[in-house]
Structure 1
Amino acid sequence: MFDKVIIVEGTSDKKKVENIVKEPVEIICTNGTISLSKMDELIDSLLEKEVYILVDADAAGEKLRKQFKREFPEAGHLYIDRSFREVATTPSYHLATVLMAANIDVHSEHLEKG
């Protein structure tokens, strides 16, 4: 059973985060936008967990983030630098730093630039 959950948009985001995270964390893909009924189901399953939203820094990601802020205000929000735009293409060191700031344990080799 996972205590921490990271919600991402797509499978490439999920793979990227899985490679960096060291502790057992459940990573859920929304595959883009999410219906209200799906959102309600998801929230019900996550009520006792520490939940983080990690979406792309683009229009679709912002729309999804707004939806989570409205429907699930308890969730924490992780932000990548806008210049990277997508979670999947964000350099590992940047993503590792963002995750560490949320007290998520990461593999130390990802903290090095280069």
Structure 2
Amino acid sequence: MAFDDLEKVIIVEGRTDKKKIETVVNEPVEIICTNGTISISKLDELIEHLFNKDVYILVDADSAGDKLRKQFKREFPEARHLFIDKTYREVATAPEHHIATVLLSANIDVHAEFLL
């Protein structure tokens, strides 16, 4: 299945965030890494790619994540923002069960083992 065929897209900051999400998710989703920042031209290109898709923003609970989140709220207001608990600070270091709960709250299917 090509990425263009996938209806759900999760945007994260880094590769370790992407790997964490991939272990928890139990449905085909495209996971896009911004690598911490994103230029306006790259964002415009991304917005075109995301047209008519369910987009979720899951970034770290820190200043860099807040900055990225604000940029997406401004440029892509249709995206749904998901939040990890501030005590974990980073998506990559949050426990799988917490990530699973956050994703499930957005109707993203997760492996049941992470909900125990």
TM-score by length of 2: 0.96
Equivalents in 2 of 1:56, 1:32: separation in Å? 10
User: Who is 2:57 aligned against?
Assistant: 53
Structure 2 unaligned regions, length at least 5: none
Equivalents in 1 of 2:110, 2:49: separation in Å? 25
- Paired residues, number: 112
Equivalents in 2 of 1:65, 1:111: separation in Å? 27
The alignment-based identity, stated in percent, is 71
Instruction: Say whether 1:90 aligns with 2:112.
Output: no
| Residues 74-100 of structure 1 deviation map (CA, whole Å, 9 limit, x = unaligned) | 000000000000000000101000000
1:60 is matched by which residue type in structure 2? A
Equivalents in 2 of 1:3, 1:70: separation in Å? 22
Instruction: Say whether 1:100 aligns with 2:112.
Output: no
User: Who is 2:78 aligned against?
Assistant: 74
Q: Which of 15, 23, 29 is equivalent to 1:25?
A: 29
CA RMSD of aligned residues (A): 0.4
TM-superposed CA distance for 1:36, in Å, is 0.4
Structure 1 unaligned regions, length at least 5: none
